[in-house]
Structure 1
Amino acid sequence: MTKVLIVETNVTRYQGTKDPTGLWLGEAAEFVDEMQQAGIDVDYVSPKGGFVPLDPRSMKYTDESIMRVYENADFVERALKNTLRPDQVNPLDYAAIYYTGGHGVMWDFPDDPQLQQLAMAIYRNQGYVTSVCHGIAGLLNLKEADGQYLIAGKTITGFTTAEEIIAGKKSVVPFLNRDVAEKHGAHFKKKRFYREYAVTDGRLITGQNPFSVRAVAKQLVAELQAV
């Protein structure tokens, strides 16, 4: 049975501030909705396991499909209360890994060795590595066995500098996605701020912003169904 592993943050605040952050709800819920429609099962993992906070701002950007997932007891239990720890996950069980966003991921995704091992194991098993928005943070430092960055030479996208400025967070984020992506050899592409955009390059699928979740999910489903 095809399964996808969804990665979420444990970070509750913008580091160095009192401001709350966490998972951007729609970036999990819309993806889950698309997987359910395609008959694909999902599991949820976070760097520490257990509780996943919601970015309170994300609750302002919901629709009926997002709320339907959010109100589902299974989603609440497995995606928000009791996510798996990386050491509880067998990467061979998954056809893809999907990194959700919300600003919190910028602190706990990039350098987590266990998440990196999971992602690369899935990728080496001919699986897909996917992300949306700030979830690109989970891809930026992934390395092949020879030490080369996974994203080197690949076309990818993620939350842009213009979008950080509009969100009012450019001064508090620890890095800018495009800067690190290009430093690590990627071809970073983007569209106008807050427009849907997702790109597939081999077995990497990335989306620019919260409005790109379903585009990422649909591209992944198409790839999985073509295998």
Structure 2
Amino acid sequence: MKKLLLATAFAAIAGVASAQDAIKIGTEGAYEPYNYIDQATGKLVGFEIELGGELCKRANLTCEFVQNDWDSIIPNLQSGNYDAIMAGMSITDERKKVITFSDNYTPPSKSSYMAASADANTGEGAVISAQTGTIQAGYIAEQAGNTLLEFATPDETVAAVKNGEADAVFADKDYLVPIAGDSGGALVMLDKDVALGGGIGIGLRQSDTELKAKFDGAIQAMKADGSLNALIEKYFGPESEKF
């Protein structure tokens, strides 16, 4: 009987280990060029999707990306709906209270303002839009004299500037620059960059130390061989911050 129980226990352990090799990664699918939906194919694409595929390959993991709204992306990680987050999520002390992060796969990025005109107000009395739950929203909330206008999606923060609800939008610069470039002059970047956070990393449950070690090893290997910098340049251009 003891042998049977031991055999069953070992089988269960083996099953858990096998299941851990196949993981799900949550992403927003609305933050180009980090992660977004290709309108022609309906598939998730972008920097983090390609990077995630390479990291999983190097870590000997079978990975599947699943789309999740930003405002519930951490709770659904904690609930076990997926095993990791790759969603342009900056590493912050506040988030570290509830989840852990892999090594950063982008350097600390710059946040910036985008508005309908170069002389738009971002100081006293300004209304600034930002996505709920982001480091940018937290930053604006701390600025005396500003009014923070929060939205669930990044698209809505930009729309608020277009329709006159907000004087400017404050977000990751890499997200805003292509939007301004494609606007035909209707939207402009303001020369007011702000460095926030400790770079972007993979969000993980604090208990998943083995999975964190696998991702850390893969990220470190990509930093060492230059392939991570090459991928950053592919999506963000030759002037982008690199390792």
Greater RCO (Cα-Cα under 8 Å, separation 6 or more): 2
Alignment TM-score, normalising by the size of structure 2 = 0.30
Larger CA Rg, structure 1 vs 2: 2
